[in-house]
Amino acid sequence: MDPSEVEFLAEKEFVKIIPNFSLDKIYLIGGDLGPFNPGLSVDVPVWLALNLKQRQKCRILPPEWMDVEKLEEMRELERKEDAFTPPPSPYYMELTKLLLNHASDNIPKADEIRTLVKDIWDTRVAKLRLSTDSFIRQQEAHAQLDNLTLMEINTIREFLLDSLNCMYKLRSNLQPGATKGQFADY
């Protein structure tokens, strides 16, 4: 899975915008949107929000969690806990990136938020690597990791699976009685 695919999925998340145009309900396959009243906030998917924003048709209201204080708290918690804490949003990284890239003028303290989210991300990915490491070291068959987001899983998936495969091959070679033929199966 490509990161852009994950981002694509994140674009289905809803975000509040304040449109500066007026439009009746629009009926889409994914559901009805609107009505759009100038000056009144309305929930729309991120893809639409960004599109409207690029055409200067709306102002995006940052999601509730996208707030310096809340993110600071989360960062502290994330650092304190060994396990993964529930993420602020299942698509927090993607949304932060999308919104800050396209609508940083509508988000107060955009730079701080960017740093904070990056911090949280780094902490979590570090944890993920750490647990992968211990997983492999201890040669466990399975492990449970809660509160991972799709993007995080995605960063490690390819590498983890490949390396596990690889290690399996190496190990099966080491085992007595293992033949070349078996190896060829993989």
Partner 1 sequence: MPCERKPMRYGHSEGHTEVCFDDTGRYIVTCGNDGDVRIWESLDDDDPKFITVGEKAYSLALKKGKLVTASSSNTVQIHTFPDGDPDGILTRFTTNATHVTFNHSGTRVAAGSSDFMVKVVEVSDSSQQKTLRGHEAPVLSVTFDPKDEYLASSSCDGSVVVWSIEEQTQVISWPLLQKTNDVSNATSLCRLAFQPAAGKFLAVPVETRVHLYERGSWDHVGSLSDELLTQPVNVASWSPCGRFLAAGAVGGLLTIWDVNSRLVVERQKHEKGFTVCSLAWHPSGSQIAYTDTEGCLGLLDGLGTSGTGTDSTKAPAAKPANDYDDLFDEDDDRLMDEGLSDANSPVKKAAEDEDDDDFLIPSTGRVRNRAAILNDENSLDTGSLKLGQDKFGDDDDDDAGSSVAPAAAQRPVYDGPVPTPPQKAFQPGSTPAHLTHRFMMWNSVGIVRGYNDEQDNAIDVEFHDTAVHHAMHLTNSLGHTMADLSQEAVLLACPSTDDLASKLQCLHFSCWDTSKEWMVDLPQGEDVKALCLGQGWAAVATSALLLRLFSVGGVQREIFSLPGPVVCLAGHGEQLLVVYHRATGFDGEQALGIQLLQFGRRKRQLMNGEPLPLSPKSYLSWAGFTAEGTPCYVDSNGLVRMLNRALGNTWTPVCNTRETCKSKSDHYWVVGAHENPQQLRCIPCKGSRYPPTLPRPAVAILPFKLPLCQTGTEKGQMEEQYWRSVLFHNHYSFLSSSGYEVDEAAQTQSDKEQQELLMKMFALSCKLEREFRCVELAELMTQNVVTLAIRYASRSRRMNLAQRLSEIALEKSTQLQEDEEPEDEPEFSRDRRFRQTEPYNTRQNEEEEQEEDEEERVEEEDGREMETEETKRRLNPFAKESGFPAKPSLTPIGRVGRSNPFKVADSGKPTSSSGQPRASNILDNMRSSRKLAPLSGSAGKPGKGPVLKPLAPRAKAKAQSTLLQISSNKTANKKTVEAAEPAADLQKQPDAAAPPAENTENKRPKTGFQLWLDENRKIIIADNPDLDETDVIKEAMGRFRTLSADERLSWTERAKGQSGDAADLKKRKRAENEAVESDESNARKKSSSLDSSSKLSAFAFSKN
The residue among 26 and 166 lying less far from partner 1, judged by its C-beta, is 26
List of residues 6+ apart from 179 with CB closer than 8 A: none
**Where in 58-117 is the site for partner 1 (CB under 8 A)?**
61, 108
Candidate residues 41, 54, 134, 173; the one interacting with partner 1 per rule CB under 8 A: 41
Shortest distance (Å) from residue 22 CB to partner 1:
6
Shortest distance (Å) from residue 29 CB to partner 1:
25
Cα–Cα distance measured from residue 71 to residue 16, given in angstroms and rounded to the nearest whole number: 19
List of residues 6+ apart from 108 with CB closer than 8 A: 62
Select from 156, 154, 155 the least CA-distant residue to 136.
Answer: 156
Cα–Cα distance measured from residue 153 to residue 151, given in angstroms and rounded to the nearest whole number: 5
Torsion angle in degrees (nearest 10) through CA of 87, 93, 96, 97: 180
**Where in 11-40 is the site for partner 1 (CB under 8 A)?**
18, 20-22, 37-40
The residue among 35 and 86 lying less far from partner 1, judged by its C-beta, is 35
The residue among 18 and 125 lying less far from partner 1, judged by its C-beta, is 18
Binding site for partner 1 (CB under 8 A): 18, 20-22, 37-41, 56-57, 61, 108
